[in-house]
Amino acid sequence: MFKLRKAGLLKLGAALACVYTLASAPVAAESLYAGIGRSATPKEIAAWDIDVRPDFKGLPVGSGSVAQGMDIWEAKCASCHGVFGESNQTFSPLVGGTTADDIKTGHVARLNDAAYPGRTTLMKVSTLSTLWDFINRAMPWNEPKSLTPNEVYAVVAYLLNLGSIVPDNLVLSNTNMAEVQKLLPNRNGVTTDHGLWPGKGMGNGGKPDVRAVACMKDCVSEVVIKSSLPDFARNAHGNLAEQNRMVGAQHAVDTTRAPPTTVAEARIAAGAIAPVAAGPATPAALTQKYACVACHGIDAKIVGPGFREVASKYAGRADIEAYLAGKIRSGGTGTWGTNVMPAQTLSEAEAQTLAHWIAGGAGK
């Protein structure tokens, strides 16, 4: 018995091993998953394979001048990015902060100046392909992928001209992108010497740059608070009491009030938050809540009459709403047959809401 079972298991094991081999070997995968997925056509690849790499692989043939770029810029880019790339305080500025000296060194010196406001795109970008690729795939913001390749060349040329990196008469094209790359002010400003690339092709193999130890006792001699949320910012994200669950180990502080000074004050402040009042219920919600629709259809009888049957029966009655509201609360039998409608425990206001809705034809 035992031997037999063991033999059976071994056989099963062998079968599983076989399946595993099939699933993990690339050649077998092709046959195992045959019919799932098909070859992409050259036309399909051309439609979607739009990326341009730093070595300019993927860059389409084309050209555009600074002058053409200015026209496109003012029509399609300036509304967000500003006439001069300063970006109207809406988006991050694109232009500014680079110098003729940076163009020589390939390092933007102002990146070391903490007082310089903001870091513009031209201060950071190290590869020209990135500007071309991104403008082509994602700009204009509300109409991405609408520019032709020539228009993209022109816009890139104009952007570089705004940054005083290329002359006014430049015509940027697939043939001179590599030359213009050599002018980018921050082209030498990046490093991959770090431990945060989870692969072997770049970086230092994952070695962390910061080494802390898990000290457990008397780890620091003096604890000094060097930064804390200023009182004026306490309510800057809205009333925090409305951003925390109203029940639990902690409640949240009502930041529309002055900071509490004692636990008792804090408790009053935090406890004073009333539950969120539900808005007036819709008739449809009430018919669900009180399970009216378990017995009444909109048009037709289920156990009791359809709501619209009720509406048409009493259509001539002047006090139809008051009558129906009363019937809803009292229940009854005999009017529509022998089934009994139990008295309903809903409020007068809710009964009137329902009565008004039924009398009006039980619409959506």
Partner 1 sequence: MHINNQMLILASMNTFNSENTQAGRLTKAPENFLAPADIRQVQDEAKNGRRGFLRRAFAAAGAAVAVPVMAQSNPVPEGGGDPNILNLPAHSRGLGQSVATDGYGKPSQYESNVQRRPSPGLTQTAQASVSFAPLQSLFGIVTPSGLHFERHHQGWWDIDPSKHRLMVNGSDEKIVKTPMVFTMDELMRLPVVSRFHFIECGANTGMEWGNVAVPTCQYTHGMLSCSEFTGVPLKLLLDRAGVDYKRGRYVLAEGADGSSMTRTVPMELIESGEVIVAFAQNGEMLRPENGYPLRLVVPGVQGVSWVKYLRRIEVGDQPYGAKDETIHYVDLLPGGQHRQYTSTQECKSVVTTPSGGQVLLDQGFYNISGLAWSGRGKIKKVDVSTDGGRNWRTARLETPVLSKCLTRFNLDWVWDGKPALIQSRAMDETGYVQPANRQLRAVRGSRSIYHNNSIQTWLVQESGEVKNVQVA
Footprint of partner 1 on 308-337 (CB under 8 A): none
Q: Considering the complex, state which of residue 35 and residue 334 has its C-beta at the smaller distance from partner 1.
A: 35
Q: Which of 11, 104, 267, 313 binds partner 1 (CB under 8 A)?
A: 267
- CA-CA distances (angstroms) from residue 104 to 67, 96, 128, 186, 188? 25, 16, 16, 10, 10
Q: Which of 4, 14, 43, 112 binds partner 1 (CB under 8 A)?
A: 112
d(Cα 148, Cα 132) in Å, to the nearest integer? 12
Sign of the alpha-carbon dihedral angle for 180, 184, 189, 195? negative
Length of the chain measured in residues: 364
Under rule CB under 8 A, residue 232 binds partner 1: no
Q: DSSP label at 59?
A: P
Query: Where does 45-164 show beta strands of DSSP type E?
Result: 63-65
Q: Confirm if 150 and 174 have CB atoms less than 8 A apart.
A: no
Under rule CB under 8 A, residue 54 binds partner 1: yes
d(Cα 327, Cα 210) in Å, to the nearest integer? 75
Q: Which of 229, 274, 338, 364 binds partner 1 (CB under 8 A)?
A: 229
Number of residues in contact with partner 1, rule: CB under 8 A? Answer: 125
One DSSP character per residue, 142-172 reads TSTT-S-HHHHHHHHHHHHHHTTSS-TT-EE
Of residues 4 through 43, those in contact with partner 1 by CB under 8 A are 23, 26, 29-30, 33, 36-40
Q: Considering the complex, state which of residue 135 and residue 358 has its C-beta at the smaller distance from partner 1.
A: 135
Q: Which of 2, 3, 61, 230 binds partner 1 (CB under 8 A)?
A: 230
Of residues 74 through 93, those in contact with partner 1 by CB under 8 A are 89-91
- Stretch touching partner 1 by CB under 8 A, among 44-52, 156-164, 297-305, 313-321: 44-52
Under rule CB under 8 A, residue 347 binds partner 1: no
Q: How many of the other CB atoms lie within 10 Å of CB of 157?
A: 28
Of residues 234 through 263, those in contact with partner 1 by CB under 8 A are 234, 236-238, 240, 242-253, 255, 259-263
Of residues 173 through 212, those in contact with partner 1 by CB under 8 A are 186, 189-203, 206, 208-212
d(Cα 115, Cα 47) in Å, to the nearest integer? 45
Q: Which of 22, 60, 134, 314 binds partner 1 (CB under 8 A)?
A: 134
- CA-CA distances (angstroms) from residue 23 to 20, 35, 212? 5, 15, 43
Q: Considering the complex, state which of residue 233 and residue 315 has its C-beta at the smaller distance from partner 1.
A: 233
Under rule CB under 8 A, residue 56 binds partner 1: no
Under rule CB under 8 A, residue 306 binds partner 1: no
Under rule CB under 8 A, residue 167 binds partner 1: no
Q: Which residues pair with 65 in a beta bridge?
A: 171
Q: Considering the complex, state which of residue 60 and residue 314 has its C-beta at the smaller distance from partner 1.
A: 60
Rounded to the nearest 10 degrees, the angle between the axes of helix 320-330 and helix 348-359 is 130
Among 183, 179, 170, CA closest to 63: 170
- Stretch touching partner 1 by CB under 8 A, among 61-69, 110-118, 154-162, 307-315: 110-118
Enumerate residues 6+ apart whose C-beta is below 8 A from 272. Answer: 254
The CB-of-282 to partner 1 minimum distance in angstroms stands at 13
The CB-of-199 to partner 1 minimum distance in angstroms stands at 2
Under rule CB under 8 A, residue 137 binds partner 1: yes
